[in-house]
Amino acid sequence: MIDLTKLSSKTMTFISTLSVGGKSKRRCTSLAIAKVLAYNAILPLDKVTDLSNYFNLTLKVELSDKLFEINELVPIDIDAILTLTYNLYTYRYNQLHTDDVFTLVGKTTPVEDFFGITLSVNIDDLNTIKDNPLEIVSVVLGFKQLLTECSNMEY
């Protein structure tokens, strides 16, 4: 459980901003949290036969625990965030372990999706990111700070 008295005032302000807003704000929050989790998760050094199985066995429990703690502070959609985290993690994995970049060309034109992100992240989520860059960055920075403060806490 997160000890609120040990969080900085900046982090507490960040948490309070998460609880206000509509559907678009919640989606931005989910995407931003997923980005932080996916980019902090360790990738396998070698190719794995089933990335979904690898993710579920090695990362999902730890990520879920973090999300459950955050959910105590502010309601979040844990399942949606885990799905988005897996999608971004898959994108990172593909960048590391795919030899032929052209096998990654996604649903759009090669110029728009040279790195194949549309193979891992759906176009609606990419549009949300494109349309709300400041919101996404703000939540990414705030969530990174929250995770840092939580990792420094003694339970």
Q: Is the pLDDT reported for residue 2 higher than 80? A: no
Sequence ranges of the domains in the chain: 4-151
Give the integer Cα–Cα distance in Å for 86 and 55.
7
pLDDT digits (tens, 9 = 90+) for 96-152: 887 655 555 555 555 455 666 777 888 888 888 889 889 999 999 999 998 888 877
Note the Cα 116 to chain centre separation in Å. 18
* Token reading at 24: 């678009």
Q: Which of 31, 56, 42 is nearest to 96 (CA)?
A: 42
pLDDT digits (tens, 9 = 90+) for 26-84: 889 999 999 999 999 999 999 999 999 999 999 999 999 999 988 988 889 999 999 99
